[in-house]
Amino acid sequence: MVKMFINWLIVSACCLTYVAAYITREAFVIIVPNKQKSCFSKSFSKSIKVIFEFRVTEGGNQDIDARIVSPNGLVIFKDLKSKGNEVSFNAQNGDFKFCFSNEFSQVTSKRVAFNIRPYDEASLSEESGGNKFPKAKSALEAFCDNIHFLMTTVMDFQMKYMVRESMGRYVAENLNRRVMWWSMGLSAVIVVTGFGQVFVFKKFFTERRSSTKPQALTT
């Protein structure tokens, strides 16, 4: 009975850990049309160090202009025509803007995957707001915090692998499309060449020649 109760506590702690890790991380996938830009804002209620990571997974040369704007309007990070990057900064109280610009592209739109996550993982008690005063952790709390840290690490790897898988699929589909059109073009050239050769040879062998018989003279 006690073992079943302990197992139930562990499963509940894992579920709560996954929910807490999901809430503290924000991952998005957006499409920025050509000659346009998109901005997103996030509010921070306290001073915290966060990581902003983005990657262009589809479109053109897979590059885009990215920047981070602080609440007072200062650009604290700027990267032009970048395929992807990862930057950490100290966020303060206020709304921070994360902007992606595709204004330099005249034809293609870009698909961008980005996420915002804390630099240092907080414990479950800190995320729930219950750790107002420092105290010693019990064995169960330390065990749950360890699970929380491992789950957030797994989520980070999953996000990166999802982005890589999306980029690989885009390259494979783009290559497959080019090979298909190239094969169709070669097939059309072969068919036209074959019909042209048949037509030329047929015309060559069916060409009429003038008669060489002597004609009778009339008096």
H/E run at residue 163: helix 139-205
Identify whether the C-beta of residue 132 lies closer than 8 Å to the C-beta of residue 79: no
pTM beyond 0.75: the answer is no
Tell me if residue 199 falls in helix, strand or coil.
Answer: helix
Strand partners, 99: 39, 67
Does 1 score more than 70 pLDDT? no
**62 is written with which tokens?**
């897979």
Which one-letter amino acid corresponds to residue 71? P
Tens of pLDDT, residue by residue over 152-185, are 777 777 777 777 777 777 778 888 988 999 999 9
Strand order in the sheet with 94-101: 37-44, 94-101, 64-69, 75-82
Tens of pLDDT, residue by residue over 2-23, are 555 444 445 454 444 444 444 4
pLDDT at 23: 42
Range of 2-16, 89-103, 112-126, 152-166 with top mean pLDDT? 89-103
**3 is written with which tokens?**
């073992």
